Structure 1
């Protein structure tokens, strides 16, 4: 068989493409690294636009270097002028200038955008400056397909107390909808109790609730990044928002259950993104 005949024997189809716009985690558990691992595990091609470089491991963030806004904009131009992007996930945006550059770069995108408002690392280190919160709320939140805050992030965006009950979480989700998000996923990982409740809030529809037992492990670094990027991967594949959320929720729960099979670092270790592939 000739080389030409061999090439023709394969069917070539376009692979879904996701772009992550986020910060780099040098420890590999969250941020850009977690997003790209998630995309790969779920059969989606991942590209990246780096907004910040963190010196980070499983114990702490020791330094943050913000990428200049013009370089962030140049990355957006380079990627979107060449790749047929199907969905975008946005994570760490630490400066107002970066938020404005991302908002301008995505203004004409017209496809799914998942915004994970990363504010504090698992170690407790703050990743979003206080003056950037209003820019995120006013410049970027309006028009995104899905906003995925945990309960403290939702409270910060609304300048309110952290929701303590499911009813309060639904109320805050609706308040975030009123700020312009297409849908809001209120993540319950920071709530108390033996069950974690995630609530997908959409206008004119009852909340879509998924629950999971709280898993006894400290290896949960990057859970928020992983969930939001898994949802973006599902949307890139053409799933509905509800389908993408359900698939991402199941993937994350399996990654957390398998996290203790890894031995990475001495602090809050990562979830196991490749649990279905590695023996």
Structure 2
């Protein structure tokens, strides 16, 4: 067999991906889910923490936002030393933290940003102070390459009713896009049906993405995992392809989640389903 050895190029190096999000001591969501996803998909994960969250598979007990200037210091510490190939933003907790994140990332406009508009945990517990919604919409959404709201988050961003059908989702897409992101991935996981239907909107077109709905209670951290997977994949392919690959990765992680025995509530997905045999 003939092996062709190519000169080493910068784009052959392992990509570095930064998550800016909250913690999860039970390991299924937040920076825990993000770092596991980055690792599972062959990228080097880094984390700047916005809030320390006391949560598990049963719900959120409380959270403590960190000082906004300290969040900014963490972001600066990474960018001043490491070539960052993509950023994923999750829980921001407060308006002041959202503003600091926007301010610091504005210095690096060429670094792609995935914004997961985290507002409520799967348990229904709020992960956001009320004043943060406007800051997320006005400061972070316009600088994102892609936002990944679920139906409830879309309704909050738009100040409208929660979409309850595919037709409602299609109506919401251009309104979400008008807020400023390059792409919108509107997730339809809350809708009933055999398929889990998402819509990707951008570049003048709408793409309908289908995946089989996995019957499992292990859905803790699914939004974190999907957005982190998009960030990892977009370091080596187009954004639409990254979204499709990320959705496939999450579907398989959900399908294999029964191999894990973590907690008594909504357990985590199996981030390393393709690696742990």
TM bracket, shorter-chain basis: over 0.9
Instruction: With the length of structure 1 as denominator, give the TM-score of the two structures.
Output: 0.93
| 1:93 alignment counterpart | 92
Counterpart CA distance in 2 for 1:224 and 1:114 is 12
The CA distance in 2 between the partners of 1:240 and 1:93, in whole Å, is 27
| Aligned residue in 2 for 1:256 | 254
For structure 1, the 5+ residue unaligned runs are 1-10
* Other-structure match for 2:71: 72
- Deviations 1:21-75 (CA, angstroms, capped at 9, x unpaired): 0000111000000000000000000000000010111001111011100100000
CA distance in structure 1 between the aligned counterparts of 2:239 and 2:107, rounded to whole angstroms: 21
TM-fit CA distance, 1:193: 1.8
Instruction: Tell me whether 191-200 or 47-56 shows the greater mean CA deviation.
Output: 191-200
Alignment of structure 1 residues 142-181 onto 2, 5 Å: 142-181=142-181
TM-score where L is the length of structure 2: 0.94
How far did residue 131 of structure 1 move?
1.3
Matched ranges for 1:21-170 at <5 A: 21-109=20-108, 110-170=110-170
Provide the rounded CA distance (Å) in 2 between the counterparts of 1:151 and 1:203.
22
1:233, 1:160 → 2: CA distance?
Answer: 32
Q: Deviations over 1:190-220 (max 9, x none)?
A: 1122211011011422x11111121111001
Distance, in Å, in 1 between the alignment partners of 2:45 and 2:212 is 30
Shift of 1:117: 0.4
Deviation at residue 112 of structure 1 after TM alignment: 1.1
Per-residue CA deviation, residues 159-183 of structure 1 (Å, 9 max, x unaligned), is: 1001112121122121011111111
Matching residue of 1:212: 211
- In structure 2, runs of 5+ residues without a counterpart are 1-7
The list of structure 1 runs, each at least 4 consecutive aligned residues, that deviate by more than 2 angstroms after superposition, is 11-14
Aligned length: 267
Q: 8 Å contact 1:177–1:203 — kept in the other structure? A: no
Contact 1:29 1:271 in 2 (8 A): yes
- CA gap of 1:203–1:14, structure 2 versus 1, over 3 A, is closer
